[in-house]
Amino acid sequence: MQYYFYLCKNYINMEDKDNNQSNSKINAIFNVFKSKPNQNFNYRQVARAVGAESDEERRRVLEILKELTQQKMLRRASQGKFRMNVQKQKQQRRIKRVITGCVDMTANGYAFIISDETEKDVFVSQHNLNHALHNDMVKINIYNTKRTNRFEGEVIEIVERSKQNFVGKVEISGKNGFLIPDSRQMPHEIFIPADKLNNAENGQKVVGRITDWAKNMRSPIGEIVDVIGNPGENDTEMHAILAEYDLPYNFPAKLDKIAAQINETITDADYAERRDFRGITTFTIDPDDAKDFDDALSLRIMNNGKYEIGVHIADVTHYVLPDTPIDKEAAERATSIYLVDRTIPMLPERLSNFICSLRPNEEKLCFSAVFQMDEKANITSEWFGRTVIYSNRRFTYDEAQQIIESKQGDLSSEILILDKLAKILRAKRFKAGAMNFERSEPKFILDKKGKPLNLYFKESKDSNNLIEEFMLLANCKVAQYIGKTEKNKKPKTFVYRVHDTPDETKFNKLKEFVKRFGYDVKPASEKDISRELNRLMKDVKDKPEANLVETLALRSMAKATYSTDNIGHYGLAFPFYTHFTSPIRRYPDMMVHRLLAQYIANAKSAEKNYYNEMCKHSSMMEQRATDAERASIKYKMVEFMQDKTGCRYEGIITGVTEWGIYVEICENKIEGMVSIRGMNDDYYCFDEENYCVTGRMHNKKYTLGDKVCIKVIRSDLERKQIDFMMIAEE
């Protein structure tokens, strides 16, 4: 009943094709009270005033009056009578200042404003959000309230909406409907008029858009822009996750047609202007299921005994020209997206999997970084430019790993040399202060319908590290080639991958937390932070608390982003770093290829504003893609646990809140929640400072990092949540 204005429209025959006229009539009930704020009315008087004549219409009026009362827009004057809620003059609050920040909405409808202009997040009640939604950029007045002795705020302007589209289930009521958003951070249901349902059926997953939200309406009016499908079906749920983050789940058919017309033939002119590597041993190493091979390695031993190593990257920008339809689509997407069961490519499949993919036994055009090295991995020369290659072999990581371990197999000599050099490069990098976070990735075995049959964790091995080190080397040296300039010489515009120093407050919290497990982190300087964290990661490896500590350590770090202003990459200990090695799946790499080609040809510096905006956009899209990937993993984890109700597990407490205790199962790293309300053995109180809840009667304490035993009581796919209950150890 929270949609009282819409109910007025539906139940009192106030249907009008003109929305402005309709909205005027929708306000009729509330205007009865606004016109005479000091007068009492019963529901019959209100019904007469708005023209509600039948018993059904009068009953609806009464329901609406009750809802308005719950919303404190009206108050009960006496039994059966209502009046305008003219509040007593509020205690005067002094405006401290106006700030701009981002809305962090809670499931309960209130929010916190995160801003660089304040040390602490600012609380904003639901009443004072004034239609601001999660992740919106807003301006707020900050007040100092005596009641809570904290700063609170009120939204005075929505600077920028984070999104207009929302994913959820449609509920049909009569001719009209409501979109019930999936996200808990969207506290408002959206009213959908009958002519805006887009043939959606009751209960289906849909994408809706807000079209109108009048100031005096609690909830918005919208329309259905796409019907995704029936809940529970794998494609529906994966598409819903993508739509939730405003990510595409279909590729425009017209772009596939354009891609089909691209000529992949390598011409005489192409050969003439490129360095020829076709006669040099070259291969790729990729995951088992990869189809877009965008990097290859070549190796030959020079007459002087040194190694010539080529890092060859698919020359995407040879085929995708600036401002063409395919380029514009790639720029908008900015990245390929990798969900549990599918890849949503940045480029049409003909480009990503065929023309540009460095497939074995095919000549391919590349943009390469070529290095000469001695046996100690010291670089004695480097070259960057366009090439043509011929890949002799495609290896999976497991195949390459077997060669490294057995020291035999196809191209074993080349792979073993590269493995040896990669290990030296890796050791140098860590000695220089690079951080070593080796988190295992969850992988699912799925049936044909996408249902998870099993879950395992894939860890990086020497074959993964081999590829990683040479890709890092190429990215570093390309950035250094452009960014390292003579003194007093202005650097040219370029796209860097930057990573700032750790957040001091978060890092101090991490230090205090790990003391609970007996670990001591004491960096003497900013540079020592990485060494201390590496030592911590080594100490916690294979311990029950390892995943929790690693997660908190990562949260203490800044996020890597794209920028035209180089500040270096703290996590990798590189003063210059970029993304050059994955242009099939990342648009920043395409920008880097174009800029590098221009600067090799001695072009002047590119216009900076465009690249500034593209760096911001690419960083934002990368974060969305990461969030969608995590959401797909979470969904599959909940789905995997659906037949585990009643099963008992050992776990570790990974989060403590006023509403529940989050526990991660040790054997599969799946997280669920124990509701505080459901803990009936005591009355538990939340202690935020000490990361724990404590029982008042028996003083039983549950603290972050504690080992506990739990039983699975529910796996709710709709809420994407697993519920546990605490049990005694057996």
On the question of pLDDT at 33 being above 90, the answer is no
266-287 confidence digits (pLDDT tens): 999 999 999 999 999 999 999 9
Nearest to 392 by CA among 368, 366, 414, 375: 414
How does pLDDT run across 691-715, given as a tens digit for each residue?
Answer: 789 998 888 999 888 899 999 999 9
pLDDT in tens, 557-588: 889 999 999 999 999 999 999 999 999 999 99
Residue 634 pLDDT > 60? yes
Q: Domain containing 20: what range? A: 4-84
Residues 457 and 315 in one domain: yes
SS3 550: helix
Q: Say if residue 293 is exposed, middle or buried (CB neighbours under 10 Å; 0-12, 13-18, 19+).
A: buried
Same domain? For 366 and 480 the reply is yes
Q: CA dihedral defined by 557, 561, 566, 570, rounded to 10 degrees? A: 20
Taking each helix axis from N to C end, the angle separating 325-333 and 253-260, rounded to the nearest 10 degrees, works out to 130
Q: Considering the domain boundaries, does residue 320 fall inside one?
A: yes
Q: What is the 3-state secondary structure (H, E, C) of 200-257?
A: CCCCCEEEEEEEECCCCCCCCEEEEEEEEECCCCHHHHHHHHHHHCCCCCCCCHHHHH
80, 95 Cβ separation under 8 angstroms: no
- Predicted local confidence at residue 92, as pLDDT: 44
Q: What is the pLDDT of residue 66?
A: 76
Asked, for residue 647, whether it belongs to a domain, the answer is yes
Residue 554 belongs to a domain: no
Mean pLDDT of all residues in 348-366: 97
Name the domain count of the chain. Answer: 5
Residues 147 and 171 in one domain: no
- Determine the Cα–Cα distance for residues 538 and 548; give it in Å rounded to an integer: 14
pLDDT, greater one: 729 or 483: 483
Domain limit, last residue, from 244, 264, 291 = 244
Instruction: Among 624, 652, 685, give the residue marking a domain's end.
Output: 624
Question: Are residues 111 and 38 located together in one domain of the fold?
Answer: no
Residue ranges in 601-657 assigned as alpha helix (H): 608-640
358 with 415, same domain: the answer is yes
Instruction: State whether 614 and 681 are in the same domain.
Output: no
pLDDT at position 45 is 85
- For helices 504-514 and 546-555, give the axis angle rounded to 10 degrees: 160
Is the residue at 546 inside a domain? no
CATH number of the domain that residue 661 is part of: 2.40.50.140
Domain boundary among 144, 160, 176: 160
Does one domain contain both 352 and 484? Answer: yes
| Token pair recorded at residue 483 | 């960014």
Mean pLDDT for all residues in the chain: 88
pLDDT tens sequence across 205-246: 999 999 999 887 878 999 999 999 999 999 999 999 999 999
Which of helix, strand or coil describes residue 172? strand
Banded pLDDT at 8 (limits 50, 70, 90): very low
Residue 557 lies in a domain: no
Average pLDDT over residues 23-40: 67
Could you tell me the CATH number of the domain that includes residue 80?
A: 1.10.10
- Domain-embedded: residue 549: no
Determine how many CB atoms are found less than 10 A away from the CB of residue 64.
26
Q: Is residue 542 part of a domain?
A: no
Q: Is 547 inside a domain boundary? A: no
Looking at the fold, whether 25 and 108 belong to one and the same domain comes out as: no
Instruction: Specify whether 150 is located in the same domain as 177.
Output: no
Residues 180 and 148 in one domain: no
Residues 239 and 308 in one domain: no
Shared domain for 446 and 586, answered yes or no, is yes
State the pTM of this model: 0.83
